[in-house]
Amino acid sequence: MGGAINNPSRPIDGVVHTPLRRIVDERGMVMHHLNHLSPTFKGFEESYISKTYPGKLKAWKLHRKMTQNFCVPVGRMHFVLFDARDDSPTKGEINEFVLDDADQYALLCIPPGIWYGFECLGIETALIVNVSNVYYDPTEALKLDPFDASIPYSGWTNEKP
């Protein structure tokens, strides 16, 4: 489905996957996320956290205005993105990413206009921390069922249609 996970053969235009640093000591660690000089930072209007239980899936969602900057500091999450933008050079592409709190600790920037969904992998509740440039506004978000026929993806592992 569009190349290797975390290394798509055709990266969706505007989607950026960047490994992040973790500074570890005997008490725990500090995990980088985002700062005002980060290339994908588009302004701050809200920071929030999203927990997903093992075996659960949240899909599909699209934001018309919001740029998301996700990291997964606990657990492991599988992200699927679909580019449905008419004016995009990568229209129709699917990209997949797996982010976790260890070797795959990374920032995933999702620009507006991309359908995305995610599912928790493994037995630990997974956490997304997001910094967004648009304060929560239900009118700028669209939703579809995880198995809606308009998105050409059938690889979810936590649910079958």
Report the interface residues with a copy of itself, using CB under 8 A. 26-37, 43-53, 56-58, 71, 73-74, 120, 125, 127, 129, 131, 135-136
Is the separation of the CB atoms in 156 and 57 below 8 Å? yes
CA-to-CA distance for 57 and 35, rounded, in angstroms? 29
CB nearer to a copy of itself: give 29 or 152. 29
CB neighbour class for 39 (10 Å; exposed up to 12, middle 13-18, buried from 19): exposed
CA-to-CA distance for 133 and 43, rounded, in angstroms? 5
CA-to-CA distance for 122 and 74, rounded, in angstroms? 11
CB of residue 19 vs a copy of itself: minimum separation in angstroms? 15
CB of residue 113 vs a copy of itself: minimum separation in angstroms? 22
Cβ-based neighbour number of residue 10 at 10 Å: 14
CB nearer to a copy of itself: give 49 or 91. 49
CB of residue 57 vs a copy of itself: minimum separation in angstroms? 7
CB nearer to a copy of itself: give 15 or 77. 77
CB nearer to a copy of itself: give 84 or 127. 127
Is the separation of the CB atoms in 110 and 75 below 8 Å? no
Is the separation of the CB atoms in 115 and 58 below 8 Å? no
CB of residue 26 vs a copy of itself: minimum separation in angstroms? 8
CB of residue 123 vs a copy of itself: minimum separation in angstroms? 14
CB nearer to a copy of itself: give 16 or 31. 31
Tokens representing 152? Answer: 């050409």
